[in-house]
Structure 1
Amino acid sequence: MRLLTPKQVNIVDQYIESLGLPVSHLMEQAGRSVFEVLHTYIEEIDGPKGVLFLCGIGNNGGDALVAARLLTEMPEVTPYVVVLGNPKDGSPLFQQQWKMVHTLEDTITIVTNEMMQSNGNVIPSHILRDVSLVVDGVFGTGFHGELPRQIGAIFEQCKEWRSNSETRKCISIDIPSGVNGLTGNVDVSSFRADETITLLAPKVGMLFYPGRERVGYMSIGSIGYPFPHHALRESVHNGPEIYWNKADSLSVEARSPLAHKGTNGHVYILGGSPGIYGAPILSAEGALRSGAGKVTIVSGADNLDALRSLSRPEMMIRNCNDAEQLDGNSTVVIGPGGGRSNSDRKHLLQWMQSVTDSHMVLDADGLIALSNDVSLLKQCSYTLGKKGYAVVVTPHLGEFSALTGIHIREIYNDPIGYAQAFAKEYNVYVVLKGQPTILATPFGRVYITTIGNPYMGTGGMGDVLAGVIGSLLNQEQDPMNAINVAVYAHSCAGDIALDDCGPGFTPTEVAQRIGRVLRTIDGYKPVLPL
């Protein structure tokens, strides 16, 4: 599913206007989408059927006024309208809708400035007692910074009103007011919605915390025009293509009935050092559970006995000095438990330079080793890219900070931008782990995976993911698709583990559930018996 940045919303608006379509028609359709959702809530209300609309003076407020006007068709409903700003300063479309609302003053109650001022510049309490729905149409996707004090006070009042009854609901139009549509940053008093009716497509900031907590349930509202993909592609100001990585957008190539361990890919995992032998084992477990034909852990001679004692019988253990030549359908995962001593780092970097005929996934200690000489990454991606192999880096925020030299706090304010810039500069796929997880591709596309849960924040979880990515890179022609499936499957398996095991589940238990997720993705179908 395509996502929109605030800048892209403006591009879409300008494109539709350039077609000569009446923009007022789009506002009418957007308002009707809001009305239809409100109608569903109203039908289930046993208490008072008043609906309070909080309107800004831009087009977001105009959408709210359309919905308020349409509600007058329901005689049992009393719409209330509060305009937060001077209507005379409103957008042309807002003013057009404002004039129409004034013709319906017998059926729409306009809460005047005088009424607000007499109640301390917040909503009069007797009005809130008469409503069961509050609709936020104050700010749209362009909001950033801080809310005006009065608006923040009104939103806090709505939050308290909502908390006093389970039957009361708060609804936002397009995006909750006070949420940044690009970053998900919020004003402390931003509107908290039970449902957000986002128009045309979700906005990027709605998928990032803390904004995501303000969105509630997300539904998609129509504006009466299909998503103009071509208009965004042709715009020089477009920015990245950003997609929501969801189950309904995933598929894989069906495995041939003639497949065997040689065709299903060989994952080599380079790592293992005293005290952290479990890391490569977990990575190998992830690779096995996602269908790798063969899995080999490669490490130093002093580590082999410890690794053998912890490994499964399906995992091969090899001395790094005696490892066989990589075959043509393989991925090398470098870093899990690789160690951080000077000799460990030197060894990891040497392996990166030695890989010439394989996909490569760099994780954990491999990333820390690379942070001392990031230019090596360009060399690796150039060498492997010429032969059609992908290089994938899988950092969390701390590791990404080490790679880029940028403070975590700064990355947190624009993770998509930094991940995308790094992917393009080094011609690699960046899997920036977190909530959500971001996949930035070297050709400009970005994918966001929002499933997963906080109980996955434990040592070893990333090692499993690295193994799953390594395995699927061998099984899929398109690296981007392989990585998206891997990230989704790993995150979803974490949610299943939480359901099955409760908090405190382990990375091994997540790996064991990878197959249950993969079988739900189109392409993983059993061969029919004769």
Structure 2
Amino acid sequence: MRLLTPKQVNIVDQYIESLGLPVSHLMEQAGRSVFEVVHRYIQEIKGPKGVLFLSGIGNNGGDALVAARLLTEVPEVTPYVVVCGNPEEGSPLFQQQWKVVHTLEDTITIVIDEMMQSNRNLIPSHILQNVSLVVDGVFGTGFHGELPKRIRSMFEQCREWRSYSDTRTCIAIDIPSGVNGLTGSADISSFKADETITLLAPKVGMFFYPARQCVGHMSIGSIGYPFPHHALRKSDHNWPELYWNNADSLNVEPRSPIAHKGTNGHVYIVGGSPGIYGAPILSAEGALRSGAGKVTILSGINELDALRSLSRPEMMICDSSDVEQLDGNSTVVIGPGGGRSNSEKKHLLQWIQSVTGNHMVLDADGLIAIASDLLLLKYRAYELGKDDYIIVLTPHLGEFSVLTGKSIEELNKDPIGYANEFAKEHGVYVVLKGQPTILATPFGKIYLTTRGNPYMGTGGMGDVLAGIIGSMLNQDQNPIDAINIAIYAHSRAGDLALDDCGPGFTPTEVAQRIGRVLRTIEGCNQIQPL
């Protein structure tokens, strides 16, 4: 699913307006989408049938007024509208809707500025007692900075009202007020919604914390026009294409009925050093659990006995210096537990230099090694790319800081921008792990995965992911699909592990649930016809 930045929202609006479609029509459709969600809640409510709309004087407020007007046609429902600002200073679209709503004061209770000021800028308590839903239409996607003091007071009042009963609901239009639609930063008093009806497409900031804590359940509302992909492609702005990597967007290529271990891909894992033998074992586990035909761990001769004692019987363990040629249809995962001494870095760099005719995944110590020679990374991506093989980097923020030379604090200000820039400059795929996990491609497409949970923040979890990516790259997927499936399967398996085991689950327990996730993805259980 496509995502939008606030600037892209403006481009879309301008494009649709240029077609001659009245923008008032778009607001009418958006308001109807809000009405439909509100009506769904109203039908299930056992308490008061009142609905309170907090309306700004911009277009978001206009959407709220449309929904309030439509609710007047529903029996037994009482709409209330609190206008946050002077209606005469509102946007042209807001003023159009205000003229209509203002004629309905017999059926809509309207509270304007003067009445709010006489009530210490708080919502009159008798109104809150008569409603079961509060709908936020104060600010839209263009908001940034801090909320005005009076709006903060109102939102804090709503939060307190909501806390008294589970039958009370808070709904946001497009994006919760107080949330930055680009960065995900949020005012401490931002409106906290149980559901957000985001219009046309989700806004990218809604996927980052702390904004995600304000969004609640997210539904998509129509504006009466399909997503205009071509309008953004034709724009002069060089923003990346942003997508949400969720279950609906994934598809696994069915396997051939005559598939065998040779066709199902061979994952080689280069790593393992004193004290961190578990890392390559966990990568191997991830690869096996996601369907790799064969898995081989390549390590130093002195490490082999320790690795064999920890490995599963399905894992092959070999001396890395004895390997002369790798199998075809394989991926080399370089770095899990590889070590950071000068000799160990040199060994990992030699592997990075030597891989040909295979995909490559750089993880953990492989990332630290290549950070010292980014020109080599760029060159290897170019050389492998000639034959349609790719390099995938899987850093967390600390490792990405080493790769970019930027502090973690700086990276957190614009993780999408930095990941996008690095991927394009070096011709690689960057999987920046976190919440959300960001996949940046060399050609400016960005994918966000929002599954997973904080209990996955434990040593070895990234090793499992690297193995899954290595496995999926061999299974007849195009690279973007392969990586997105791997990220989704890994994060969703973490959620299953939390459900099954509670906090404190292990990376191994996550790997064991990969199959349960994969079978829910379209195509995975199918067999390709001959």
Q: Same fold (TM over 0.5)?
A: yes
The residue aligned with 2:329 is 329
Deviates more, 1:184-193 or 1:449-458: 449-458
The answer to whether the 8 Å contact 1:291/1:471 transfers is: yes
Give the conservation status (yes or no) of the 8 Å contact 2:452–2:494.
Answer: yes
1:449 aligned partner: 449
Q: 2:272 and 2:186 mapped to 1: Cα distance? A: 42
Mapping 1:240-319, distance limit 5 Å: 240-319=240-319
Q: What SS does structure 1 have at the residue aligned with 2:63? A: helix
Q: CA shift at 1:477, angstroms?
A: 4.0
Distance (Å, rounded) in 2 between the aligned partners of 1:308 and 1:484: 31
Give the aligned partner of residue 153 of structure 1: 153
Q: Hey, what's the Cα distance between the residues in 1 that align with 2:52 and 2:528? A: 57
Could you tell me how far 1:372 is from its partner in structure 2?
A: 1.9
Aligned residue number for residue 83 of structure 1: 83
Contact preservation (8 Å) 2:254, 2:526? no
The sequence identity of aligned pairs, in percent, is 81
Q: Which residue in 1 is equivalent to 2:65?
A: 65
Per-residue deviation, 1:48: 2.0
- Determine whether 1:27 maps to 2:40: no
- In structure 2, the CA distance between the partners of 1:528 and 1:24, relative to structure 1 (3 Å rule), is closer
Give the Å deviation of 1:475.
1.0
Alignment partner of 2:136: what SS?
Answer: strand
Gaps of 5+ in 1: none
Contact 1:358 1:389 survives alignment (8 Å): yes
Aligned to 2:174: 174
Residue 202 of structure 1 aligns to a residue whose secondary structure is: coil
* Contact kept? 2:84, 2:112, Cα under 8 Å: no
DSSP 3-state at the match of 2:178: coil
- 1:348–1:369 contact (8 Å) kept in structure 2: yes
Instruction: Show structure 1 runs of 4+ deviating over 4 A.
Output: 526-529
Quick one: distance in 1 between partners of 2:384 and 2:526?
34
1:356 — aligned with what?
Answer: 356
Distance (Å, rounded) in 1 between the aligned partners of 2:264 and 2:172: 48
Output aligned runs, 1:124-523, within 5 Å: 124-237=124-237, 239-523=239-523
Equivalent position amino acid for 2:30 in 1: A
Deviations 1:173-195 (A, max 9, x none): 00000111112110000000111
Whether the 8 Å contact between 1:200 and 1:222 is mirrored in structure 2 is yes
**Inter-CA distance 402–156: structure 2 relative to 1 (3 Å threshold):** same
Letter in 2 for 1:225: Y
- Secondary structure of the 1:116 match is helix
**Which one-letter code corresponds to 1:206 in the other structure?**
M
SS of residue matched to 2:61: helix
The one-character-per-residue Cα deviations of 1:200-247 (angstroms, maximum 9, x if unpaired) are 111111111111110111111111111111111111226111111111
Letter in 2 for 1:473: L
Residue in structure 2 matched with residue 47 of structure 1 by the alignment:
47
Amino acid at match of 2:135: V
1:5 maps to what in 2? Answer: 5
Residue 75 of structure 1: CA displacement? Answer: 4.2
The separation in 2 between residues aligned to 1:528 and 1:328, in whole angstroms, is 22
SS of the residue 1:57 aligns to = coil
Task: Provide the C-alpha distance between the structure 1 equivalents of 2:418 and 2:109, rounded to a whole number of angstroms.
Answer: 48
Specify the code of the residue in structure 2 equivalent to 1:207: F
Contact 1:332 1:361 in 2 (8 A): yes
Whether contact under 8 Å (1:489, 1:518) holds in the other structure is: yes
Measure the CA separation in 2 of the matches of 1:84 and 1:527: 58
Q: Partner letter of residue 246 of structure 2?
A: K
What amino acid is aligned across from residue 64 of structure 1 in structure 2? A
**Aligned letter for 1:377?**
L
One-letter identity of the residue aligned with 2:393: V
How far, CA to CA, are the matches of 2:358 and 2:420 in structure 1? 24
**Alpha-carbon contact 2:174-2:199 (below 8 Å) kept:** yes
What code does the residue aligned with 1:254 have? Answer: P
- How many angstroms apart in 2 are the aligned matches of 1:271 and 1:317? 11
1:82 Cα offset (Å): 1.4
The secondary structure found in structure 2 opposite 1:475 is coil
Q: What is the identity, as a one-letter code, of the residue corresponding to 1:135?
A: V
**2-structure distance, mates of 1:316, 1:132:** 61
Alpha carbons of 1:528 and 1:295: their partners in 2 closer, same or farther (altered >3 Å)?
Answer: closer
Query: Counterpart of 1:474 in 2: which secondary structure?
Result: coil
Distance 2:377 2:318 in 1: 26
How far off its partner does 1:489 sit? 0.9
The answer to whether 1:121 aligns with 2:121 is yes
TM-score by length of 1: 0.98
Give secondary structure in 1 for the equivalent of 2:399. helix
Alpha-carbon deviations, 1:399-439, whole Å to 9, x = none?
A: 11110011111211211111111110111000011111111
What SS does structure 1 have at the residue aligned with 2:104? coil
SS at match of 1:134: strand
Aligned positions of 1:104-119 closer than 5 A: 104-119=104-119
Separation in 2, partners of 1:49, 1:258:
61
Whole-Å Cα distance in 1 between the matches of residues 42 and 358 of structure 2?
59
- SS of the equivalent of 2:417 reads helix
Deviation at 1:526, TM superposition (A): 5.3
For the residue of structure 1 that corresponds to 2:321, the secondary structure is coil
Paired with 1:6 and 1:528, the residues of 2 have a C-alpha distance of 42
- CA contact 1:53–1:68 (8 Å) conserved in 2: yes
Distance in 1 between residues matched to 2:381 and 2:2, nearest whole Å: 28
The letter for the 2-side match of 1:508 is T
The code of the aligned residue for 1:182 comes to: L
CA distance, structure 2, for counterparts of residue 156 and residue 146 of structure 1: 14
Q: What secondary structure sits across from 1:446 in the alignment? A: strand
By how many angstroms is 1:111 displaced?
Answer: 0.9
Amino acid of the structure 1 residue aligned with 2:157: Q
One-letter code aligned to 1:461: M
Q: What count of residue pairs does the alignment treat as equivalent?
A: 530
Tell me the distance in 2 between the aligned counterparts of 1:287 and 1:247: 20
Which digits, 9 at most, give the CA deviation of each residue in 1:311-336, with x for residues without a partner? Answer: 11111111111013112211110000
Which range moves more in the overlay, 37-46 or 21-30? Answer: 37-46
Residues 1:74 and 2:74 are matched in the alignment: yes
Shift of 1:74: 2.4
Preserved contact between residue 396 and residue 433 of structure 2 (Cα < 8 Å) = yes
Deviation string, structure 1 residues 355-379 (Cα, Å, up to 9, x no partner): 1221100000111112222222101
Root mean square deviation of aligned Cα: 1.5
Question: Contact between 1:11 and 1:238, CA under 8 Å: does it hold in 2?
Answer: no
Q: Is the 8 A contact 1:7 1:238 kept in 2?
A: no
Report deviation, 1:44: 2.1
User: Unmatched 5+ residue regions in structure 2?
Assistant: none
SS at structure 1 position matched to 2:150: helix
Separation in 2, partners of 1:484, 1:60: 34
Task: Output the CA distance in 2 between the equivalents of 1:133 and 1:313.
Answer: 58
Post-superposition shift, 1:518?
1.5
* Residue range with higher mean Cα deviation, 125-134 or 146-155: 125-134
